[in-house]
Amino acid sequence: MRTAPCPFVTNGHGLNLAAACDGVRTMNECHRGCMKPPVSHPLFARAYACSTPAMDRAGAAEHRRRLLMRLTGRVIEVGAGDGANFDHYPAGVTSVLAVEPEQYLRGRAQQRAARAPVPIEVVDGVAEQLPVSNQDFDAAVVSLVLCSVTDQDQALRELHRVLASGGQLRFFEHVRAESLVLRRVQRLLDATVWPSIAGGCHTGRDTAATIGRAGFRIDRLHHFRFPDVGLSLPTSPHILGAASRVSPVRDTG
Ligand SMILES: C[S@@+](CC[C@H](N)C(=O)[O-])C[C@H]1O[C@@H](n2cnc3c(N)ncnc32)[C@H](O)[C@@H]1O
Residues 8, 132, single domain; the answer is no
pLDDT at position 250:
55
Q: Which residues does the chain have with pLDDT short of 70?
A: 1-37, 248-253
Instruction: Give a yes or no: residue 11 inside a domain.
Output: yes
Same domain, 132 and 106: yes
b/e for 56-91, b at 16 or more Cβ within 10 A?
beeebbebbeebbeebeeebbbbbbbbbbbbbbbee
129 within a domain of the structure (yes/no): yes
What's the structural domain count of the chain? Answer: 2
- Tell me how far apart the alpha carbons of residues 68 and 63 are, in angstroms, rounded to a whole number: 9
**Co-location of 111 and 200 in the same domain:** yes
What residue ranges in the chain does DSSP mark as E strands?
A: 73-78, 93-99, 120-123, 137-143, 163-174, 216-225, 237-245
Atom 14 in ligand 1: which residue has the minimum CA distance? 79
pLDDT at 249: 56
pLDDT for 37 equals 52
First to last CA, the chain: 11
> Which residues approach ligand 1 with their CB closer than 6 A?
39, 48, 52, 78-81, 84-85, 100-102, 105, 126-128, 143-145, 148-150, 199-200
The pair phi, psi for residue 78, each rounded to 5°, is: -110, 130
Q: Are residues 162 and 152 in the same domain?
A: yes
Residue from 145, 150, 171 whose mutation best tests the ligand 1 pocket (most atoms within 8 A of CB): 145
Confidence at residue 12, expressed as pLDDT on a 0 to 100 scale: 33
Residues 48 and 173 in one domain: yes
Whole domain around residue 200: which residue ranges? 40-245
Nearest CA residue ID for atom 1, ligand 1 = 144
pLDDT, averaged across the chain = 87
Q: Is the pTM of this model over 0.85?
A: yes
Residues 6 and 82 occupy one common structural domain: no
Claim to verify: residue 18 and residue 84 sit in the same structural domain: no
Which pLDDT tens digit goes with each residue over 97-119?
999 999 999 999 999 999 999 99
pLDDT digits (tens, 9 = 90+) for 222-239: 999 999 888 899 999 999
Q: Note the pLDDT of residue 34.
A: 46
